[in-house]
Amino acid sequence: MAVLWLVLLGGMLTFFLGVFVWVFIQHLLTVEIPSTLKHPVKLRILHFSIQYLITLGTILEKLRICSMPAFLLCIQDLVIIKKDPNMLVTDTRFGTVPVRLFKPKKVSSKLRRGIIFYHGGGGIFGSLDVYHGLGNFLARETDSVVLLVGYRKLPDHHHPAIHLDCLNASIHFLKNLQTYGVDPSRVVIAGESVGGWVVATVTQALACQDKISQIRAQVLITPMLQGVNFQLPSQLQKHNVPLLTRDLMITFFCRYLNIDLSWKNAILTGACVPPDIWKKYNKWLSSDNIPQRFKGKDFSPEFLGPFNETAYLETKHVLDEKISPLLADDKIIAQLPDTFLLSCEHDIIRDDTLLYKKRLEDQGVPVTWHNVEDGFHGCIIFFDKQFFSFPCSMNALNATISYIKGM
Residues tagged active-site: 193, 347, 377
DSSP 8-state symbol, 216: S
Length of the chain: 407
Cα gap 397→379, rounded to integer Å:
9
Closest CA to 351 of 243, 228, 179: 228
Distance CA 68, CA 45 (A): 21
Distance CA 249, CA 227 (A): 11
Full 3-state SS string of 136-195: HHHHHHHCEEEEEECCCCCCCCCCCHHHHHHHHHHHHHHHCHHHHCEEEEEEEEEEECHH
Q: Which of 149, 242, 155, 233 is nearest to 192 (CA)?
A: 149
Alpha-carbon distance of 135 to 103, in angstroms, equals 10
